[in-house]
Chains A and B, each alone.
Chain A
Amino acid sequence: MSKFKKKKGGELPAISTASLPDIVFMLLFFFMVATVMRDSTLMVVNKLPAADQVEKLDKKDRVMYIYAGKPSSRYEDKYGTSAKIQLNDKFASVNEVGAFVLAERASKRQELQNVLTTALKVDSETKMGLIQDIKQELRKVSALKINYTTRVGNYQQNLN
């Protein structure tokens, strides 16, 4: 009978913390895997247009990114409100695009140099003139594979 007698003392047993490191490591690994490294901070407004006939753009090592759009609000007083191109971490003019592509291409492995894709991440409010200029520059350095990066969605979302 006395075997099942309730304990009288009020003190709680200490919870073992031996597994705490495991939990922490688990979280660490999870975030390590799920985080996508962004190599450049975005300095332009970048609301991508929607399209539904999209193809996936995987193999990140074969892609170089060109951003374009209006400077975001904290750069507005310094750079104005007209649409600009962003390469890596700074604003650039149109004639710098060619040099950027060549530099990016040179930094890749030999066998990837001919299969590079240029992803154009352009804000939906941009005028085509700027994009046309970028495309013209890309043609000059024969970076002919491009990808207009979009959100996945119906095109009608673009029009209102």
Chain B
Amino acid sequence: MAKRAAPEVNAGSMADIAFLLLIFFLVTTTIETDSGLNRKLPPMEDQVDPPIIREKNIFTVVVNKNNQLLVEEELTDIADLRELAIQFLDNGGGVGEEACDYCQGEKNPSSSDNPDKAIISLKNDRETSYKVYISVQNELVAAYNDLRNREFQRLYPSAGISYVEAQKRYDDPRTSMEVQEDLKPKLDRVKEMFPQKLSEAEPNKTN
């Protein structure tokens, strides 16, 4: 009986398996990207003649140094901020030329005329904590996004997605040109209905 060694396993295909795995990981790994709230600062030049804005079209949000929130001069909890901002933006109290035909608010004559006129003014103290500031910003952006979602879904129910999802798809570089071109006018129209007018006052100086 001849003594025979066990036949060697053919390793020729090992490289193929390795490449298969490599390609699998290449495809599935997403490099983590940062995300955050995009904002635009106002340019430095002072406006020659500031436009006259009626008091009722301004929604004032003040955060004081103790991180308390004053909305329209009333102490408010951050949890209620989104709802209040939506009520203000969606009010549509204007008449005649300033009427808003898509607003579903209370049409209160002492609140904003239409979303195009409505301005949210955010003021904070130098001692305000950044995390509270971000929370307030987040809730105000959320108010705009909620309203834009509503209008987007009302106008384009066939798209089957919300405004935020549509914007995300539009920004995604993998989206094809046709889809982007299709989305752009829709997004612009909804943006025009509820333009983000968020003004930030110069901070209070504390002595």
Contacts and interface: CB of A to CB of B under 8 A. Distances in A.
Interface string A145-160: 1111110100110110
B181 interface: no
B35 A26 contact: no
A140 B171 CA distance: 29
Contact of A135 (B5, B15, B41): B41
Nearest to B26: A33
Report the interface size class on chain A.
Answer: 35 or more
Which 6 pairs across A and B sit closest by C-beta, in order of nearness? A19-B14, A129-B126, A124-B131, A22-B18, A149-B36, A158-B131
Interface stretch (B94-102, B110-118, B132-140): B132-140
Contacts of A2: 1
B182 to A, nearest CB: 20
B41 A146 contact: yes
A50 B40 CA distance: 20
Q: Is the interface of B mostly helix, strand, loop or mixed?
A: mixed
Nearest to A23: B18
A128 interface: yes
A53 to B, nearest CB: 4
Interface stretch (A55-63, A71-79, A104-112): A55-63
B99 to A, nearest CB: 29
B36 A128 contact: no
Contact of B36 (A19, A36, A147, A159): A147
Given A19-B18, A23-B18, A34-B31, A51 B135 contact: yes
Contact of B34 (A34, A52, A57, A158): A57
Best-buried of B21, B131, B168 by chain A (most CB within 10 Å):
B131
Contacts of B130: 49, 122-128, 131
Best-buried of B4, B29, B133 by chain A (most CB within 10 Å):
B133
Contacts of B57: none
Contacts of A140: 44
Q: Is the interface of A mostly helix, strand, loop or mixed?
A: mixed
Contact of A128 (B44, B126, B141): B126
Interface in B177-191: none
Best-buried of B9, B33, B79 by chain A (most CB within 10 Å):
B33
Interface in B70-118: 78-79
A93 interface: no
Interface string B124-158: 11111111111101110110010000000000000
Contact of A55 (B5, B22, B125, B171): B171
Contacts of A57: 33-36, 38
